[in-house]
Structure 1
Amino acid sequence: MVSERGLQVLRAIVEDYVDTREPVGSKTIVERHAFGVSAATIRNDMALLEDEELITAPHTSSGRVPTDKGYRVFVDHLAEVRPLSSAQRTAITSFLEGPGDLDDVLARTVRALTQLTGQVAIVQYPSFARANATHVELVQLGGGRMLVIVVTDTGRVSQRMAFVRDDFDDADLARIRAELGTLLVGRSVREGLQRIADHLAASPATGAAHEVATAAIVRVVAEELDEFRQDKLVMAGSATLARLEADFRGSIYPLLEAIEEQVTILRLMGEMVADEKGLAASIGRENEPFGLAEASVVASDYDATGSRARVGVLGPTRMDYPTNLAAVRAVARYLTRMLEEDESSR
């Protein structure tokens, strides 16, 4: 059982190691922290922390570094989520304020977060399965190319190219647009997909040009709506891993691979358990099932018109947890407020 002073010694070791990247010794703790006891007493506390596998000696020196278990105890019991400075809050505002669709807002969100934390920033798209399509637009570009635009009530705007056999006059184009509107507008993504499937099943393989074109466009819309239902991430700051490579005991390749493929990080983000404040952390070996045993992820929930998702950062276990937790919480709150204001203005 670790004493209260032992836990405070653990806090000092974590904070000093994150700050200096150097193993922390008893003399350093006495000099930098006001414990009011001798170095010998601190050494005894450190020995007990080592027995509990909360700290370890990286080599034969007297200094100690936190273990993954030590970081977990620090985050759960000792880390105080610090308020952001006015400069940090201004940085968030300057990145996120201004008009834009959801794709643009989330792209700006990860840029803001990686600038604040120096880590890889991750934002999870909210699930759009229950979103309603509010508008379908067709823009004829010539040469048999048709730009299909679908807008939902969550602010998601999709644009995808459909290739049809011929260009159409205004009357045929209006007829196709009306048919798509009847299928989709005012209906949920889930219902729209079902109606599209029924429509395609009932459509003849051949027929009038506008019928063949409508079927081709409807298939493109179905592909896009199906993507709406799938989990998706936006990330920024992957290059920071090269700068932080010294903090990883092994290769950073598994992290780069996970970032590129997204599926692993999506699963990890989905399985993290948040506390009562909506904050979650998954540290080091806790991520071993995902092949990311040398990385940590901290995240916060945000709300997108009733659908919850997460924003977070990924980096080495030697990270500034209090600052990173504060950053993801602040960004998540700002993002929630922006999406709520956007929803109320429509």
Structure 2
Amino acid sequence: MVSQRGLEVLRVIVQDYVSSREPVGSKAIVDRHQFGVSAATIRNDMALLEEEELIVAPHTSSGRVPTDKGYRLFVDHLAEVKHITPTQKQAIDQFLDDSADFDELLGRTVRLLSQLTNQVAIVQYPTLGSTRIRHIELVSLGNRRALCVVISDNGQVEQKLIDLEVELSEQDLAQLCSGINAQVAGKLHSELSESITSLTSQVPNALIPAVTHIASALSDSIQANRQNKLVMAGTANLVRTGEDFSDSIYPVLDAIEEQVVLLKLLTEMKADADEVAVSIGREHSNSGLEQASLLSTGYSSAGEKATLGLVGPTRMDYSSNIASIRAVARYLTRVLDAR
């Protein structure tokens, strides 16, 4: 059983180790913090923490560093609640509000979060299940091909290259585009293919093959979107902290590059918009991230939930990173709701 003072000793060990990257000894704790007891007493507290597997000595006669279990106790019970500064709030607000479209907004989000935290930032695209079609544009590319641009009510833009099978004049393409928009404007993405297919009974026979191919291509595009995709920034931050990974940083880099692994972990963590979920080290075993921590929280776009995340070494400033990811997720939701 760890005493209250022992828990405070654990808290300062985590904070000092995160700050210095150096193992923390009893003399350093007495010198830096006001416990009002001797170094020998602190050593006894540290011995009890070691028995509980909350700290460990990385080398003989060295100080102590937190274990995954120690970080977990710190995150759940000992971390101080932090808030982002007014300057940071203003920077987040301005940086996200300046985004021109949905894709740029998500790109800016991960770049901003990686800069605030010095970690790898990840944002998951929301699925298109409950978003509605605002407009569809068809652009002729010649050689019986066209670019189909689908604009959703949340500002998301999807582009799809389509083989029309027939050569269409500019007038025919404009007529087809007008008919498609009359059918699909305001409809859910899930209703898109069926709505376009219904046009086959309303257009000249020469346009029917084009209608069929457009409906099929957009159906495939929607299905692919439902598989989810991620945008990431800040991988260089991870490389700069390579010495925090005692074995090798390469399994971590491989796991980040393999987006399926991250999507699985983010899905399992199931963070809500009002909380930040934290998975530490071996808690996500067999993923390549056994020496890393993953933070995630939710954001929403047109009613669709998606996830914002951070990946970094277990030796990270959890309090500040939790405050940053929570703040950015809330601003992101606010910006999307305003569009």
* TM-score normalised by length of structure 2: 0.92
Distance in 2 of aligned mates of 1:80 and 1:303: 27
List structure 1 segments (4+ residues) > 4 angstroms apart after TM superposition. Answer: 193-196
Give the structure 2 partner of residue 269 of structure 1: 266
Distance in 2 of aligned mates of 1:170 and 1:273: 48
CA contact 1:54–1:66 (8 Å) conserved in 2: yes
- 1:328 corresponds, among 318, 321, 325, to 325
- 2:61 is the alignment partner of 1:61: yes
Quote how far apart the aligned CAs of 1:193 are: 4.2
1:95-174 aligned within 5 A: 95-165=95-165, 167-174=167-174
- Paired residue secondary structure (1:158): strand
Question: Could you report, residue by residue, the CA deviation over 1:5-51 in whole angstroms, capped at 9, with x for unpaired residues?
Answer: 11111110000000110000000001111111111111111011101
Quote how far apart the aligned CAs of 1:199 are: 6.0
Give the structure 1 partner of residue 307 of structure 2: 310
- 2:211 is the alignment partner of 1:214: yes
CA contact 2:146–2:163 (8 Å) conserved in 1: yes
Give the structure 2 partner of residue 27 of structure 1: 27
1:154-303 aligned within 5 A: 154-165=154-165, 167-181=167-181, 184-193=184-193, 209-274=206-271, 277-303=274-300
Give the structure 1 partner of residue 91 of structure 2: 91
Question: Could you report, residue by residue, the CA deviation over 1:34-71 in whole angstroms, capped at 9, with x for unpaired residues?
Answer: 11111111111101110110000001023000000000
Residues 336 and 15 from structure 1, CA distance in 2 versus in 1: closer, same or farther, beyond 3 angstroms? same
Question: Could you report, residue by residue, the CA deviation over 1:271-313 in whole angstroms, capped at 9, with x for unpaired residues?
Answer: 1154794211000010104332111011222222322222121
Question: Could you report, residue by residue, the CA deviation over 1:133-185 in whole angstroms, capped at 9, with x for unpaired residues?
Answer: 22111112334331101112222111222233454224311332244335533
Quote how far apart the aligned CAs of 1:231 are: 1.8
Give the structure 1 partner of residue 40 of structure 2: 40
Residue type of the alignment partner of 1:123: V
Distance in 2 of aligned mates of 1:180 and 1:255: 46
CA contact 1:193–1:226 (8 Å) conserved in 2: no
Moved more, 250-259 or 35-44: 250-259
CA contact 2:273–2:297 (8 Å) conserved in 1: no
Moved more, 237-246 or 70-79: 237-246
Residue type of the alignment partner of 1:320: D
Moved more, 261-270 or 171-180: 171-180
Residues 277 and 129 from structure 1, CA distance in 2 versus in 1: closer, same or farther, beyond 3 angstroms? closer
Distance in 2 of aligned mates of 1:143 and 1:274: 48
Residues 6 and 130 from structure 1, CA distance in 2 versus in 1: closer, same or farther, beyond 3 angstroms? same
CA contact 2:298–2:306 (8 Å) conserved in 1: yes
Identity of aligned residues (%): 53
Residues 275 and 74 from structure 1, CA distance in 2 versus in 1: closer, same or farther, beyond 3 angstroms? farther
Quote how far apart the aligned CAs of 1:247 are: 0.5
Distance in 1 of aligned mates of 2:101 and 2:227: 18
Distance in 2 of aligned mates of 1:245 and 1:179: 56
Distance in 1 of aligned mates of 2:63 and 2:338: 51
- Paired residue secondary structure (1:290): coil
Residues 190 and 24 from structure 1, CA distance in 2 versus in 1: closer, same or farther, beyond 3 angstroms? same
Give the structure 2 partner of residue 77 of structure 1: 77
Residue type of the alignment partner of 1:32: R
- 2:3 is the alignment partner of 1:6: no
Structure 2, gaps ≥5 residues long: none
Moved more, 298-307 or 65-74: 298-307
Distance in 2 of aligned mates of 1:192 and 1:216: 13
Quote how far apart the aligned CAs of 1:337 are: 1.0
Quote how far apart the aligned CAs of 1:232 are: 1.7
Quote how far apart the aligned CAs of 1:224 are: 1.9
Quote how far apart the aligned CAs of 1:216 are: 2.4
Structure 1, gaps ≥5 residues long: none
Distance in 1 of aligned mates of 2:71 and 2:10: 9
Residues 12 and 111 from structure 1, CA distance in 2 versus in 1: closer, same or farther, beyond 3 angstroms? same
